[in-house]
Amino acid sequence: MAKQKTKMICPHCGAAMNHHADKLVYPTSTEDSKKMNTALGGVIAEIHCCPGCGALESRGGGE
Amino acid sequence: MNSRPLSIPVILGTTRKGRMSAHAAHFMLGQIEKRDGIRTELIDISKLPMPVDDAGEGIKDPLFSEKMVMADALVIVTPEYNHSFPGLLKHILDSCLKEYIHKAAGIVGVSAGPFGGVRVIQDLIPVIRELGLVNIFWDVNFGNVSKVFDESGNLLDEAFVSRADKFLNELIWMAKTLRYGRDNIALDS
């Protein structure tokens, strides 16, 4: 079963944000390369959108 | 669905002096402005700060980034230079990423010759896809562009009004659909 993650809260309006995408981001530095998921070939960034004001946030997906 | 008006900026993707793409961009801007409930503006890449001593998110301009955050769709007007897109258009597009995810994009190709930028559009689509944008299946192709607009930018061929209309109908549908998805449909994880 998928684990539940904490919803991001919009820093602009305080609404709960919707996690609508995981984007594979390619490492651009040696430091980034250390965090790389070798199975996927990059680092996952979770993309969150605020339904209230349209703000966007991202955070590391970890897997 | 939230009540914010849709935001659909037009990106003029060349810095070249005497660029005919500016006429195409202003025409597209005017067609969007005729529609209710949509905010638009021209983003001329020649007016953006664009350092060349770094690349990608290292050169992110806060103002451009904010415009991309607020955008629901992009109209990218690009000329075809040596069968592809201007390098500086790619340079500025690469400066953002999360800002584009699950947003609509439509490409307007411009060429001096007869093909209307079909090669630049084919080249740009994989870039658009990797940036997380969703490309629509309508394009607008301004071939023989010096015959489509006069020197002042007045449209000489009215057929482009209906072509732009079809393109914008699809782009707006996709923009609304993707906004609903961004706001309401969670990724299964």
In tens digits, chain B (189 residues) has pLDDT values of 578 899 999 999 999 999 999 999 999 999 999 999 999 999 999 999 999 999 999 999 999 999 999 999 999 999 999 999 999 999 999 999 999 999 999 999 999 999 999 999 999 999 999 999 999 999 999 999 999 999 999 999 999 999 999 999 999 999 999 999 999 999 985
CA dist list (Å): B187 to A25, A61, B20, B41: 17, 12, 42, 31
Q: Taking the CB of residue B90, how many other CB atoms lie within 10 A of it?
A: 17
Q: How confident is the model at residue A3 (pLDDT cuts 50, 70, 90)?
A: low
Q: Is A22 on the interface with B (CB under 8 A)?
A: yes
CA dist list (Å): B64 to A55, B17, B59, B95: 14, 22, 11, 9
- Please state whether beta strands B38-39 and B6-7 pair in parallel, antiparallel, or not at all (unpaired): parallel
- Please state whether beta strands B6-7 and A43-49 pair in parallel, antiparallel, or not at all (unpaired): unpaired
Tell me which residues of chain A, numbers 33 to 62, contact chain B at a CB-CB cutoff of 8 Å.
45, 47, 49, 51-58
**What ipTM describes this predicted complex?**
0.89
* A12, A55 Cβ separation under 8 angstroms: yes
Q: Is A9 on the interface with B (CB under 8 A)?
A: no
Express each pLDDT in A11-49 by its tens digit: 999 999 999 999 999 988 888 888 899 899 999 999 999
Q: Is B2 on the interface with A (CB under 8 A)?
A: yes
B167 is written with which tokens?
Answer: 């393109």
Domain boundaries B6-183, corresponding CATH code:
3.40.50.360
CA dist list (Å): A19 to B28, B125, B186: 33, 25, 5
Residues 6+ apart with CB under 8 A from B158: none
Q: How many domains does chain A have?
A: 1
Quote the domain boundaries for residue A50.
1-63
Q: Provide, as residue numbers in chain B, all residues whose Cβ is less than 8 Å from the Cβ of A53.
A: 4
User: Which residue type, as a one-letter code, is found at position B63?
Assistant: L
